[in-house]
Structure 1
Amino acid sequence: MPDLTPQPPLLIGEAHGRETVPLRNLPPGITAVTLPRITKDSDDTIRVRVPRDRRRRVSPRQVDLVADHPVSPYDPPPTLTTRQLIKVLQTKTAKRWPTIQADLGDNAWQIVADLIRCGAVILRCDVVNATGYSPRSWTLTRSWAELAEDKLAELQGRQHPEDLHRELLDIMSGIPELAHEHALLATTPPGRVLKIPEDTATRAEDWRVYEIAIRAAGVWWPAQGAPRKITAKELAGRSLRDTKSAWTPARQQAFSNLIGIPFDQAVDKADTELRIRGPLQWRVGTVIADAAACHPWLALPARGVRALGMISCDARGVFLVENEDTFEQVCKIPEIADTWLCIWGKGYATDGLAEFLRGLDGLPLAAWGDLDAHGIRIIGNLADRIGRPVTPVAMSVDLYRGGTKYRQEPTKLKENRKLAAQLACDGIEALRDLAEEIARTDGHGCEQETLYDEVLPALPGLLKAVHVSGSS
């Protein structure tokens, strides 16, 4: 299994969207932040609001204690015993402070501080006399919650490893597409514990993740002759006998690595929020994902970005594409897909995508959107949220004038004309002339898909110009 180039971990911090609260005597490496309030804007952008009083001051009654630095998705404190680690991972929703003290013993506070610093738990506290605090309960962080079930299976072990080893071999027998994986497991006999084959295509590090990928592939491959695509829940029910079993990002990626197809293409009704193609490797939980080797792309749910850990990327830049079909066309252009990190994120950027792009701040960022008011606003919204320039490509006035305008209801046209007029004054500067033209033509818009003949042949050159200007 290849090593990733050492880089600072880019895990999205639990403090995202919150505000720091100054409290006395916090342990090193820990900060207090306001409790999150999730809201959705009119354009469906999800935001985390900071609670304030009528005078706009932050004066919370409760806070969360979190790590004040980026952390790895899963890296337990070395001082934690196996028994204590199991107790931590068994947290379902929340665990109250008296129970935590009973589980961890006399050193409970020091252990909890270590767990907060390594990104394992969030400790909720009551604020006492404005600057003091009293622990109430903890919850697992997003990344630890995603991995908890698989890590518990590893720690608690299996009563009969030989039987499980034989069962997985039987599942793969007779499936030609799994013959190589069958041979790898056959030459990796179990001892007291089950061992993952070194060269497994799953690229998993936890046995439970590996096992689920094998079981799912054993159901998925024989079902490929059916006229209907198998659903994600159906696959879980048939392979794991539990339709409610979670397709965590790590499980999705291990399965996708094994069958060589993105999860959202392999199954129906997959929760995909992000597609990536290009020269990048990262850890999705505890599974290595390669956005260059995944064909046609690497697919992740939004929560998958929350499990982002170590990353290695040597792309020329990041290219964000607004529409799904357009993203597929871009991925077919080797001059772009082999050198640029291409991303489709479903229109307005999610918090996860915005944080991901912030972590790649050393790379120039280009975007191609629809030639309409919302396409302009999407790019401006992204630039504001990540705090860095975004260069629009293939969004000129000439292309707009020659493009096919899509049909809109009169009320929508009026709204889009009004938005375009506003963006012509205070929108992203590079697109103000386009916004002005859209407002002048009563709000009509032109979608990317109708401009393929004009744009796709020229796109490598347009991105080369962005790379050169970003490097100078």
Structure 2
Amino acid sequence: MPDMPEQPTAPLPRPALLVGEAHGRREVPLHGLPAGIIAVTVPRTRKDGDEVLTRVPLDRKRRVNPAVVDLVASDPVPAYDPPPGLADRDLVKVLTTRTRKRWATVEAEFGPQQAWRTTVSLIRCGAVVLRCKVIQTTGFAPDSWRLTPSWASLREDKLAHLRGHPDPLRLHAELLQEMVGVPQLASEHALLTATAPARTLQVPAGSAAGTEDWRVYEVAVRSAAVWWAAQSRPQPMTAKALAGKSMRDTKNPWTPARRQAFANLVGRPFDQAVEETDTELRMRGPLRWRVDDVIADAAACRPWLGLPAGGLRSLGLIDCSAVGVFLVENEDAFTQVCKLPGVTERWLCVWGAGYATHGLAAFLKAMAPLPVAAWQDLDAHGIQIIANLTERIGRPITPVGMDVDLYRQGTKYRQKPEKRAGNVHLAERLAVSGPLALRALAAEIAASGGDGCEHETLYPEVLPTLARTLDQIPGEQTSAIWPFSTDGIA
């Protein structure tokens, strides 16, 4: 049985989102905006391979002159914190927004006088984004609203909580029955047995799921019971298969809160417990975070904490006392680094699959001003990854275990002739325009005919001194709610 993650002993405040709605946008000066609200450009998007890139819309003279804008909160907001005094019936109206609501619909639901006041309070708390038409350059007229990604990811669970269950006694009994015969959930069964059901079902105090939301708890418990029962089978479960068996619907979403509550119950990162097409940023180090009311600890989770790369908008990072962020390119090397206490006690170690580059860049940019170090393959593409990320996050990345001497003694991997030729061309270019600290390595790769050395072959040379090497990188240790970032990513 895998080690269960340690649970935080004290309640944590609701942190601000790491990436907010203003991220990657340009502010537009309009007259008459309420306090706490700004107007921002509506980004234009394009697909680049597996990534969706965004850019600020400009006219032919490179000026920001939008026809439409979005009104968003000017200050950091939690993932979910409704405005004070908003009645449950009105909160239900907000959460029933699936895609967009026209402004005429909003006025019909709340009344012409109340619609604007309610909308302003919802924008300020990060619940909705109001799309507006720009009138004569500095004026605006409401057109429609949509839920922010963090509220949209939680809407189904929050609606279930607000509406209650028509038969709470039956649901309570069903969930207890799901856990019968699953020894790994015996303590959870005892906790739920001791919690009397009411119209609004309550998550038992002390639950390992780490959530206060009943629907999140229900999904996590049902899924954990199915998952544990299937562990004797050689074929691992996919995320969709688990949703189909536990929730009776393969399209039922694995929201960040549900993923982490399930991971807390089974004691494994979500992407290690099941197979899925979405990737995660794996982390180990001195950082704790919270999705709504689900808490996880990147220092306590074994062997690491997995964050969905696409879920950064609904994540708030808190209590980060790391001296820097250390990127490791390949999964096997990341696992080895996670075993080094001298590294993970001080540095936040991160692994993200190649197709998660956009989510990884957003994360690194939001973690400024922490220094960033990276250990990549000693080849042209390893250097290119650092060059690309350096440009996108707007601050330098210090290479570790990537010097010329290590390259010369490393085992070179086999390549096809056409790939080798492409690597020579890329290395020649990087030797001139790449990161300064890696130009000598790029020149050596070009001179060696494009040969590459995978960093997994250099464990004996790099791992024993890695903690000491990282300690030589300048940085300042902090411990606070992490600063909110609204800068875009080029």
What is the TM-score normalised by the length of structure 2?
Answer: 0.91
- The separation in 1 between residues aligned to 2:388 and 2:81, in whole angstroms, is 34
Q: Which amino acid aligns with 1:241?
A: R
Q: Tell me whether 1:253 sits opposite 2:260 in the alignment.
A: yes
Q: CA deviation at 1:418?
A: 2.3
Q: Which amino acid aligns with 1:405?
A: K
Structure 1: 4+ residue segments shifted above 6 A:
none
- The separation in 2 between residues aligned to 1:10 and 1:148, in whole angstroms, is 17
Select 1:26's aligned residue among 25, 33, 43.
33
The farther-off stretch of 364-373 and 141-150 is 364-373
Change in CA separation of 1:238 and 1:316 when aligned onto 2, cut-off 3 Å: same
Match of 2:398 in 1: 391
Change in CA separation of 1:40 and 1:326 when aligned onto 2, cut-off 3 Å: farther
- Alignment of structure 1 residues 453-472 onto 2, 5 Å: 453-466=460-473, 469-471=474-476
Q: Tell me whether 1:82 sits opposite 2:122 in the alignment.
A: no
The farther-off stretch of 372-381 and 112-121 is 372-381
Match of 1:99 in 2: 105
Structure 2 stretches lacking a partner, 5+ long? 1-7, 478-490
Q: CA deviation at 1:348?
A: 7.0
Match of 1:354 in 2: 361
Q: CA deviation at 1:308?
A: 1.2
The farther-off stretch of 236-245 and 46-55 is 46-55
Q: Tell me whether 1:425 sits opposite 2:432 in the alignment.
A: yes
- Alignment of structure 1 residues 402-421 onto 2, 5 Å: 402-421=409-428
Q: Secondary structure of the residue that 2:176 maps to in structure 1? A: helix
- Alignment of structure 1 residues 288-307 onto 2, 5 Å: 288-307=295-314
Match of 1:311 in 2: 318
Q: Which amino acid aligns with 1:224?
A: Q
The farther-off stretch of 347-356 and 281-290 is 347-356
Q: Which amino acid aligns with 1:197?
A: P
- The separation in 2 between residues aligned to 1:401 and 1:348, in whole angstroms, is 29
Structure 1 stretches lacking a partner, 5+ long? none
Q: Secondary structure of the residue that 1:437 maps to in structure 2? A: helix
C-alpha contact (below 8 Å) 1:13/1:69 kept by paired residues? no
- The separation in 1 between residues aligned to 2:449 and 2:73, in whole angstroms, is 50
Match of 2:251 in 1: 244
Q: Secondary structure of the residue that 2:28 maps to in structure 1? A: coil
Q: Secondary structure of the residue that 1:225 maps to in structure 2? A: coil
The farther-off stretch of 418-427 and 252-261 is 418-427
Q: Tell me whether 1:333 sits opposite 2:340 in the alignment.
A: yes
Select 2:115's aligned residue among 102, 108, 131.
108
- The separation in 2 between residues aligned to 1:443 and 1:383, in whole angstroms, is 23
- The separation in 1 between residues aligned to 2:408 and 2:21, in whole angstroms, is 45
C-alpha contact (below 8 Å) 1:249/1:303 kept by paired residues? no
Deviations 1:361-410 (A, max 9, x none): 35332111111122112222222322233211101111111112223333
C-alpha contact (below 8 Å) 2:77/2:126 kept by paired residues? yes
C-alpha contact (below 8 Å) 1:4/1:311 kept by paired residues? no
Q: Which amino acid aligns with 2:60?
A: R
Q: Which amino acid aligns with 1:127?
A: V
C-alpha contact (below 8 Å) 1:317/1:340 kept by paired residues? yes
Q: Secondary structure of the residue that 1:470 maps to in structure 2? A: coil
C-alpha contact (below 8 Å) 1:32/1:66 kept by paired residues? yes
Select 1:162's aligned residue among 161, 169, 176.
169
C-alpha contact (below 8 Å) 1:31/1:66 kept by paired residues? yes
- The separation in 1 between residues aligned to 2:150 and 2:278, in whole angstroms, is 17
Q: CA deviation at 1:41?
A: 4.1
**Root-mean-square deviation (Å):** 2.0
Select 1:71's aligned residue among 49, 74, 77.
77
Q: Tell me whether 1:235 sits opposite 2:242 in the alignment.
A: yes
C-alpha contact (below 8 Å) 1:18/1:33 kept by paired residues? yes
- The separation in 1 between residues aligned to 2:142 and 2:63, in whole angstroms, is 23
- The separation in 2 between residues aligned to 1:311 and 1:231, in whole angstroms, is 31
Q: CA deviation at 1:237?
A: 0.7
Select 1:365's aligned residue among 372, 375, 381.
372
Q: CA deviation at 1:6?
A: 5.6
- The separation in 2 between residues aligned to 1:440 and 1:159, in whole angstroms, is 73
Match of 1:435 in 2: 442
Q: Secondary structure of the residue that 1:439 maps to in structure 2? A: helix
Change in CA separation of 1:35 and 1:353 when aligned onto 2, cut-off 3 Å: same
Q: Secondary structure of the residue that 2:63 maps to in structure 1? A: coil
Q: Secondary structure of the residue that 2:475 maps to in structure 1? A: helix
Match of 1:53 in 2: 59
- The separation in 1 between residues aligned to 2:255 and 2:12, in whole angstroms, is 25
Change in CA separation of 1:418 and 1:325 when aligned onto 2, cut-off 3 Å: same
Q: Secondary structure of the residue that 2:272 maps to in structure 1? A: helix
Change in CA separation of 1:264 and 1:450 when aligned onto 2, cut-off 3 Å: same
The farther-off stretch of 341-350 and 201-210 is 341-350
Q: Which amino acid aligns with 1:97?
A: W
Change in CA separation of 1:222 and 1:45 when aligned onto 2, cut-off 3 Å: closer
Deviations 1:228-280 (A, max 9, x none): 11111111111111111001111010000001011111112252231111121
Change in CA separation of 1:244 and 1:45 when aligned onto 2, cut-off 3 Å: closer
Match of 1:120 in 2: 127
Q: Which has the higher contact order (CA 8 A, sep 6+)?
A: 2
Q: CA deviation at 1:8?
A: 6.0
- The separation in 1 between residues aligned to 2:74 and 2:106, in whole angstroms, is 22
Deviations 1:118-171 (A, max 9, x none): 111111111111221111111111101100000001111112212211111111
What percent of counterpart residues are identical? 61
C-alpha contact (below 8 Å) 1:219/1:235 kept by paired residues? yes
Q: Secondary structure of the residue that 2:319 maps to in structure 1? A: strand
Match of 1:203 in 2: 210
Change in CA separation of 1:351 and 1:27 when aligned onto 2, cut-off 3 Å: farther
What is the TM-score normalised by the length of structure 1?
Answer: 0.94
C-alpha contact (below 8 Å) 1:272/1:299 kept by paired residues? no
Q: CA deviation at 1:71?
A: 1.0
- The separation in 1 between residues aligned to 2:260 and 2:210, in whole angstroms, is 9
- The separation in 1 between residues aligned to 2:356 and 2:437, in whole angstroms, is 19
C-alpha contact (below 8 Å) 1:284/1:304 kept by paired residues? no
Aligned residues: 469
Change in CA separation of 1:284 and 1:6 when aligned onto 2, cut-off 3 Å: closer
Match of 1:274 in 2: 281
Q: Tell me whether 1:182 sits opposite 2:197 in the alignment.
A: no
